[in-house]
């Protein structure tokens, strides 16, 4: 769920701050509501998994709000050429927010983390803010992070529309978009099951995650985890067992991809 070589991380689990605390607390809160564990002999119990996903989804809005507040601080500081690192943000801006306890705690949550996260955020700053520089000023309206989170905090449905349009190129308001969203969630759940197969040494070569991002947790919490879901997903994965590609074909694919990039 934190992401690996095969599936990307869930949206509110993409930093190193309190990820494990969120996961463990969500697990503890969900397991007391379940009549069994989340997995049984390497197979996901999707009825219980839905309860776990619902617990995780409770952190999604809070996380996005913190990300939004953090973005505004970075944006305003960088726009005025005040800062060059997160440590300067911490020293300069954390004190400004001390009178607002809630905001202060949220900033501490984001800033009190390790160097790995700091590097990620500095890359985010360079790629998403400075690259949007226009006429010696930054165009905040063209930054996806700002537009998505602001819309999501004010109106979840509007935020969802921006997210899926930008990251998956479909409109959740349209009938076809709803079908595609359902397919996306099913595919992510297949990926979760595939990972368990993989770590047990049961290799299924013809499956791969087809997207660059995961669905939103609130949508996964609303998904229909019917009683036949286990059978449907396991059968669908097992139908794709396949065989590994020979090494020379794998190398050809790498070089062909490289040429396409060039």
User: Is residue 68 domain-shared with residue 150, that is, in the same domain?
Assistant: yes
Long-range own/partner contacts, residues 188-191 (CB < 8 A, 24 or more apart): 188/7, 188/214, 188/215, 188/220, 189/44, 189/46, 189/49, 189/229, 189/233, 190/233, 190/236, 190/237, 191/6, 191/7
Does residue 43 belong to any structural domain of this protein?
Answer: yes
User: Is residue 96 domain-shared with residue 209, that is, in the same domain?
Assistant: no
Does residue 35 belong to any structural domain of this protein?
Answer: yes
The tokens for 175 are 């009938």
pLDDT string in tens for the chain (262-residue length): 888 889 988 887 765 567 888 889 999 999 999 988 999 888 899 999 999 999 999 888 777 777 776 666 666 665 655 544 444 554 554 444 445 555 545 555 555 544 555 555 555 555 444 444 333 344 555 567 677 877 887 888 888 898 999 889 999 989 999 999 999 999 999 999 999 888 888 888 888 899 989 999 999 999 999 878 888 888 888 887 888 888 888 888 777 655 554 4
Indicate the residue among 154, 175, 190 that finishes a domain.
154
3-state helix, strand, coil in the chain (%, to 5): 65, 5, 35
Indicate the residue among 93, 128, 154 that finishes a domain.
154
Does residue 37 belong to any structural domain of this protein?
Answer: yes
User: Is residue 127 domain-shared with residue 163, that is, in the same domain?
Assistant: no
Tell me: the pLDDT tens digits for 146-200? 778 778 878 888 888 989 998 899 999 899 999 999 999 999 999 999 998 888 8
Asked if residues 30 and 52 have their Cβ atoms less than 8 Å apart, the reply is yes
The model carries a pTM of: 0.73
Does residue 1 belong to any structural domain of this protein?
Answer: no
Does residue 4 belong to any structural domain of this protein?
Answer: no
pLDDT of the residue at 190: 92
Q: Which helix (H) or strand (E) holds 101?
A: helix 101-111
User: Is residue 20 domain-shared with residue 147, that is, in the same domain?
Assistant: no
pLDDT of the residue at 256: 67
Residue range(s) defining the domain that contains residue 50: 11-58+159-248
User: Is residue 51 domain-shared with residue 67, that is, in the same domain?
Assistant: no
User: Is residue 76 domain-shared with residue 104, that is, in the same domain?
Assistant: yes
User: Is residue 171 domain-shared with residue 50, that is, in the same domain?
Assistant: yes
The tokens for 147 are 């537009």
pLDDT of the residue at 43: 87
User: Is residue 238 domain-shared with residue 179, that is, in the same domain?
Assistant: yes
Does residue 93 belong to any structural domain of this protein?
Answer: yes
State whether the Cα torsion 150-155-156-161 is positive or negative.
negative
User: Is residue 26 domain-shared with residue 75, that is, in the same domain?
Assistant: no
Count of domains observed in the chain:
2
User: Is residue 51 domain-shared with residue 163, that is, in the same domain?
Assistant: yes
Classify residue 15 by its DSSP letter.
Answer: S
User: Is residue 121 domain-shared with residue 241, that is, in the same domain?
Assistant: no
């Amino acid at each position: 769920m934190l992401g690996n070589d095969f599936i990307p991380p869930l949206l509110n689990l993409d930093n190193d701050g309190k990820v494990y605390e969120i996961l463990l607390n969500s697990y503890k809160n969900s397991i007391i509501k379940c009549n069994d564990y989340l997995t049984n002999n390497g197979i996901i119990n999707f009825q219980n998994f839905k309860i776990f996903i619902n617990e995780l989804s409770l952190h999604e809005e809070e996380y996005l709000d913190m990300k939004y507040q953090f973005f505004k601080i970075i944006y305003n500081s960088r726009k005025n050429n005040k800062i060059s690192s997160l440590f300067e943000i911490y020293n300069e801006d954390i004190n400004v927010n001390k009178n607002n306890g809630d905001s202060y705690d949220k900033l501490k949550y984001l800033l009190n983390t390790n160097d790995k996260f700091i590097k990620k955020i500095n890359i985010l700053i360079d790629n998403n803010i400075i690259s949007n520089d226009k006429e010696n000023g930054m165009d905040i309206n063209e930054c996806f992070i700002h537009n998505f989170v602001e819309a999501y905090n004010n109106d979840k449905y509007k935020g969802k529309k921006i997210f899926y349009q930008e990251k998956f190129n479909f409109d959740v308001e349209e009938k076809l978009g709803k079908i595609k969203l359902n397919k996306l969630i099913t595919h992510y759940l297949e990926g979760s099951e595939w990972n368990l197969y993989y770590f047990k040494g049961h290799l299924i070569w013809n499956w791969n995650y087809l997207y660059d991002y995961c669905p939103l947790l609130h949508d996964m919490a609303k998904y229909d985890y019917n009683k036949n879901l286990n059978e449907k997903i396991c059968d669908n994965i097992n139908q794709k067992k396949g065989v590994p590609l020979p090494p020379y074909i794998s190398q050809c694919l790498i070089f062909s991809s490289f040429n396409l990039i060039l």
